[in-house]
């Protein structure tokens, strides 16, 4: 229906554009209207030519009627012109508003950062071999910036802490439409003096083996049916478990390890974010967060 | 009120409203156009990408001590022009880490400085220090020089501190690397480091 209206609108818009494009088309249009008025006059008057007395009586009235018809049809044409102009203007507004809404959705989706985890150095213990960092990690489900759902603590030698994560960055088109979100899972920690292969493995998974980022809480349920959500998680786990295949299929843009690190300071909390434009970022967590 | 007069009054009101509509149309249309342009520009800014570094693995060799990874890397300017000649490296390990210092400039903009190369068996402190390799008279040549000389001086000072291995306030590090699960670097394949203005870093193969 929308397409049909668009075609009609476009046809009349082109027609009126032609009419007002110059004096000649305008004159032609007026002549066409005049011809129709004359034809109408003839259609009404000619049957009376067999009766000369009657035809003389009705002639002035019919002439007036023909002139009136000409002006009425001209008025109808003007009204139609206004309606078509209104229609094309409204159509243009609808297109612009639709485009604006699309852009707002894209901007909202790609400017989003999701909290992955908070990392706090709770203590820096002196040691003859070098300082030992006591660390607490808090995991968050996607969409929840306030309530962590699991905590893990450990100790490691060093002065800088490295939080190693696997990151999965989807194609821009999937992020823009909201079909997917870039994902990450922290999996080990090491330090400036402890190489990654000797690091500590993390457990960012719930008992069912699903990463904490996929946990559903009151604040991130979003009205999705549980069954639909489970299917969606299964699909994402499949992508995460076979990233090479997902890259070949063009679903993932990149998947690499990313070890965010910072110089340890006691009781300072750092927050790891998953950026929807790609990659991971780190920022000190403000007290009010 | 006679019917005829009602029709005339309704017609006058309708025509007046239409006239106002067409007069205001310009303002509404301009407002929508400006909003569209603003969002398009903001989206383009968010999706900007920079490639300050390319690398390739040339050899992975097993020996009694473990695996040695050999490769080459080269730096690029913001205009995608190569900076100098490629540099070679060789390091023990199975996973290769490219470490960067990320310095927040504004809420949405961070500067990313290549810093070092290490591996899964070489601790970061013992890695290969690469920060001084892209200097041009004290300025980090991977960044475009600004028109404001004071800003250029600040960037040079920041870069000097990074090369001196000093701690930078509010800065953090990000070491991107390959893993067995996500895919090890393929010998002979050229990769580039993709940096986003937000500070996010990825590694993508050069097609």
Rounded CA gap, A117 and A168, in Å?
A: 16
Please report residues of B whose CB lies closer than 8 A to that of A111. Answer: 42, 46
Rounded CA gap, B111 and B133, in Å?
A: 17
Touching check for A1 and chain B: CB below 8 Å?
Answer: no
In the prediction, which pLDDT does A221 show? Answer: 55
User: How far is the CA of A60 from the CAs of A64, A66, A101, in angstroms?
Assistant: 6, 10, 61
Q: CA nearest B168: which of B181, B179, B154, B178?
A: B154
Per-residue pLDDT reduced to its tens digit, B100-140: 999 999 888 899 999 999 999 999 999 999 999 999 999 99
Please check whether residue A215 lies inside any domain of the structure: yes
Q: Which of residues 36 through 55 in chain B touch A, CB cutoff 8 A?
A: 36, 39-40, 42-43, 46-47
- Looking only at the bridges linking them, the beta strands covering B66-76 and B82-92 are antiparallel
Beta bridge partners of B102: B112, B172
In the prediction, which pLDDT does B10 show? Answer: 80
Contact between chains at B110 and A107 (C-beta distance less than 8 A): no
Same domain? For A78 and A156 the reply is no
Rounded CA gap, A88 and A96, in Å?
A: 12
Per-residue pLDDT reduced to its tens digit, A103-157: 999 999 999 899 999 999 999 999 898 999 999 999 998 878 888 889 999 999 9
Please check whether residue A289 lies inside any domain of the structure: no
A 10 A CB-CB count for B138 gives 13
Contact between chains at A244 and B173 (C-beta distance less than 8 A): no
In the prediction, which pLDDT does B34 show? Answer: 95
Same domain? For A248 and A271 the reply is yes
B192 vs A58, which has greater pLDDT? Answer: B192
| pLDDT higher than 60, residue A220 | no
Residue at a domain's end among A59, A93, A109: A109
The count of structural domains within chain A is 2
Strands (E), A111-264: 113-125, 132-139, 150-157, 160-170, 183-191, 200-201, 252-263
Touching check for B12 and chain A: CB below 8 Å?
Answer: no
Average pLDDT for residues A160-181, to the nearest whole number?
92
Residue of B126, B181, B195, B196 to mutate, testing the A interface (most A Cβ within 10 Å of its Cβ):
B181
Same domain? For A98 and A143 the reply is no
For A73-82, A120-129, B64-73, B110-119, which range has the lowest pLDDT when averaged over its residues? A73-82
Cβ density class B88-102: b for 16+ within 10 Å, e for less: ebebebbbbbbbbbb
ipTM over 0.85: yes
Residue at a domain's end among A109, A128, A156: A109
Residue of A nearest to B96 (CA): A257
Q: Which of residues 87 through 126 in chain A touch B, CB cutoff 8 A?
A: 89, 92-93, 96-97, 99-100, 103-104, 106-107, 110-111, 113
DSSP A22: -
Residue at a domain's end among A82, A109, A136: A109
Q: Which of residues 241 through 270 in chain A touch B, CB cutoff 8 A?
A: 243-244, 247, 253-263, 270
Same domain? For A204 and A123 the reply is yes
Please check whether residue A36 lies inside any domain of the structure: yes
Token duo for residue B160 = 């000097």
Rounded CA gap, A152 and A137, in Å?
A: 5
Rounded CA gap, A154 and A199, in Å?
A: 11
A 10 A CB-CB count for A139 gives 24
A 10 A CB-CB count for B50 gives 19
Please check whether residue A153 lies inside any domain of the structure: yes
Token duo for residue A189 = 């920690």
List of residues 6+ apart from A43 with CB closer than 8 A? none
| pLDDT higher than 80, residue B88 | yes
Touching check for B178 and chain A: CB below 8 Å?
Answer: yes
Touching check for B72 and chain A: CB below 8 Å?
Answer: no
What is the percent of chain B where pLDDT is above 70?
97
Please report residues of B whose CB lies closer than 8 A to that of A86. Answer: 18, 21
Token duo for residue A214 = 């996929």
Rounded CA gap, A109 and B112, in Å?
A: 24
Instruction: Work out the burial of residue B111: count CB atoms within 10 Å of its CB; fewer than 13 is exposed, 13-18 middle, 19 or more buried.
Output: buried
Q: Which of A89, A261, A277 sits opposite B198 (nearest CB)?
A: A277
- B193 φψ region: left (φ > 0), alpha (ψ -120 to 50), beta (else): beta
- Looking only at the bridges linking them, the beta strands covering A183-191 and B96-104 are unpaired
Same domain? For A49 and A143 the reply is no
Min Cα separation A45/chain B (Å)? 30
Q: Which of A85, A99, A166 sits opposite B182 (nearest CB)?
A: A166
What is the percent of chain A where pLDDT is above 90?
42
Touching check for B169 and chain A: CB below 8 Å?
Answer: no
Same domain? For A28 and A121 the reply is no
Same domain? For A240 and A131 the reply is yes
- Print the domain residue range for A22: 2-109
DSSP A40: H
Contact between chains at A197 and B175 (C-beta distance less than 8 A): no
In the prediction, which pLDDT does A219 show? Answer: 53
In the prediction, which pLDDT does A239 show? Answer: 84
Q: CA nearest B85: which of B48, B134, B119, B15?
A: B134
Beta bridge partners of A156: A133
Name the one residue in this structure whose structure tokens are 């500590």.
Answer: A200
Q: Which of residues 130 through 159 in chain B touch A, CB cutoff 8 A?
A: none
Rounded CA gap, A152 and A119, in Å?
A: 10
Helix (H, G, I), strand (E, B) or coil at A151: strand
């Amino acid at each position: 229906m929308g397409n049909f209206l668009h075609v009609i609108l476009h046809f009349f818009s082109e027609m009126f554009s032609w009419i007002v494009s110059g004096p000649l088309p305008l004159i032609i249009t007026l002549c066409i209207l005049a011809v129709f008025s004359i034809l109408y006059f003839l259609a009404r008057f000619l049957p009376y030519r067999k009766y000369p007395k009657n035809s003389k009586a009705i002639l002035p009235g019919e002439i007036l009627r023909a002139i009136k018809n000409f002006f009425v049809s001209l008025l109808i044409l003007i009204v139609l012109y206004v309606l078509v102009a209104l229609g094309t203007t409204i159509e243009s507004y609808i297109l612009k508003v639709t485009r604006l809404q699309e852009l707002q959705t894209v901007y909202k989706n790609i400017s989003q950062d999701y909290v992955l985890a908070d990392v706090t150095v709770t203590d820096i213990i002196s040691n003859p071999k070098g300082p030992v960092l006591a660390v607490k990690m808090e995991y968050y489900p996607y969409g929840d910036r306030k309530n962590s759902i699991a905590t893990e603590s450990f100790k490691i030698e060093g002065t800088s802490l490295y939080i190693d994560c696997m990151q999965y960055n989807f194609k821009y088109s999937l992020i823009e439409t909201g079909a997917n979100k870039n994902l990450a899972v922290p999996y080990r920690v090491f330090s400036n003096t402890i190489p990654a292969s000797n690091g500590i493995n993390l457990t960012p998974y719930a008992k069912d083996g699903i990463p904490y980022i996929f946990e559903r809480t009151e604040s991130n349920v979003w009205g999705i049916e549980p069954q639909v959500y489970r299917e969606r998680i299964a699909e994402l786990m499949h992508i995460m478990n076979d990233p090479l295949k997902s890259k070949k299929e063009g679903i993932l843009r990149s998947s690499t390890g990313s070890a965010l690190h910072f110089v340890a300071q006691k009781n300072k909390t750092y927050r790891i974010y998953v950026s929807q434009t790609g990659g991971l970022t780190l920022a000190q967590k403000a007290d009010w967060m | 009120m006679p019917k005829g007069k009602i029709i005339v009054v309704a017609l006058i009101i309708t025509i007046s409203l239409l006239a106002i509509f067409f007069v205001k149309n310009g303002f509404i249309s301009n407002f929508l156009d400006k909003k569209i342009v603003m969002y398009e520009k903001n989206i383009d800014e968010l999706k900007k990408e920079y490639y300050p570094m390319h690398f390739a693995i040339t050899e992975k060799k097993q020996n009694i001590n473990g695996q040695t990874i050999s490769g080459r890397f080269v730096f690029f300017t913001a205009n995608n022009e190569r900076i100098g000649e490629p540099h070679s490296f060789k390091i023990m390990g199975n996973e290769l880490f490219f470490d960067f210092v990320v310095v927040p400039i504004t809420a949405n903009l961070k500067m990313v400085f290549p810093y070092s190369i290490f591996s899964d068996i070489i601790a970061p402190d013992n890695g290969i220090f690469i920060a001084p390799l892209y200097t041009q008279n004290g300025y980090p040549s991977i960044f475009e020089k600004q028109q404001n000389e004071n800003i250029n001086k600040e960037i040079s000072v920041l870069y000097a501190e990074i090369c001196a291995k000093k701690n930078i306030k509010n800065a953090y590090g990000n070491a991107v690397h390959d893993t067995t699960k996500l895919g090890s670097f393929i010998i002979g394949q050229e990769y580039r480091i993709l940096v986003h203005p937000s500070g996010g870093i990825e590694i993508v193969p050069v097609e």
